[in-house]
Structure formats: structure tokens, C-alpha cells
Amino acid sequence: MYPKHFGTNPLFPNKADFKLVTKDDHSGMGIISFRHFNKGDLVAKLGGEIIHDIRQHSLQIDDFNHLYDIYFCGYFLHSCEPNVTLDMKNLTVHALRTIKANEYLYMDYAETEEKLYKQFPCGCGSTHCRGWITGYNEAIDENDPQYQSYSQLRKIAV
């Protein structure tokens, strides 16, 4: 899945095991696994470009660096009950629970991101859903028109 200039690490994701596909109009694109993984299994080693700003499809490594990966982990979908966890120090992905073949890979964006590129309403459907997704150290942007619409809909639903 990664271009040749990333190297040939056998732990990198490959096209036989994973595919970037459009899930739906709401979620956009995501990574589907063609392989079964058990809880704790190494899913893949990550690659990408190290950058110093937040972008869509980047993941925070530390306070100053982000991994810009437009081939694999930059397209993990969000869930408040994810099936993968990312170790950004070692640039690895592990299964948090059993992942069946043909299942999407889901991470919790607040696991790695202090501040998101863009906050958004969550539609994961989990019983633990937080509703509005931010980074782990980020206040809700109440001036965001999308948040205002989301907030109004919640008031109507209650």
C-alpha cells in the first residue's frame, strides 16, 4: 500500500490484506481488512511522512511531529469503541479485540490527537458514543456551525 520510497518492511500493510474503500457518504473512506486478527495481534507497522503541522489524514506522534499517511492509517475511521490502538512511539497498530475479515479498522481519534484537524459529530452508534469528537485536550468549538446544528438537534431529541 505504501509507495516504494517508504521501504519494503514486511510488516507494512499490503494490498492483499487491506484496501482503502468508500464506506458511505457520511463516513467517507476507510480501511477494510481482508485478514482476521485476534485481540493483541500486530495489525501493521506504519509509514508516512513526518510533518510539523496538523493535516487531515495525519496522526500526532508527539507535541511537535505528526505522521502524514495518506495510504493507510490516515484513513482509519473513528469509533468511540475502536477495534485498533496505535502506538505512535513505535509506529505500530494492534487489535484491541477480534477483527474479522472484511471489517473496517476503527480508532478513537482522541487516542492520538491533542487537537483535531476538524471537530465533527460522531455517528459510530456505540453505547459509549461521546457524540461530538474532539482531540483529547481540546474544548468544543461552540462557534462551529456544524456543532451549533448538532447541538440544536440534540435539544430537539431530548
Helix (H) or strand (E) holding 151: helix 145-157
The answer to the question of residue 141 being in a domain is no
Q: Are the C-beta atoms of residues 94 and 41 closer than 8 Å to each other? A: yes
pLDDT, tens only, 36-50: 999 999 999 999 999
The answer to the question of residue 153 being in a domain is no
The answer to the question of residue 100 being in a domain is yes
For residue 120, what are the β-bridge partners?
A: 133
pLDDT of residue 10: 94
pLDDT, tens only, 80-126: 999 999 999 999 999 999 999 999 999 999 999 999 999 999 989 99
Q: How many whole angstroms separate alpha carbon 124 and alpha carbon 77?
A: 9
The answer to the question of residue 136 being in a domain is no
Domain span at residue 79 reads 4-115
pLDDT of residue 158: 52
Using alpha carbons only, give the angle 4, 111, 51 rounded to the nearest 5 degrees: 40
Percent of the chain with pLDDT over 70: 99
Q: How many whole angstroms separate alpha carbon 88 and alpha carbon 29?
A: 22
Question: Band of the pLDDT at 157, cuts 50, 70, 90?
Answer: low
Q: Domain of 60: which CATH number?
A: 2.170.270.10
pLDDT of residue 44: 98
The answer to the question of residue 128 being in a domain is no
Question: In the chain, how many domains are there?
Answer: 1
The answer to the question of residue 29 being in a domain is yes
The answer to the question of residue 74 being in a domain is yes
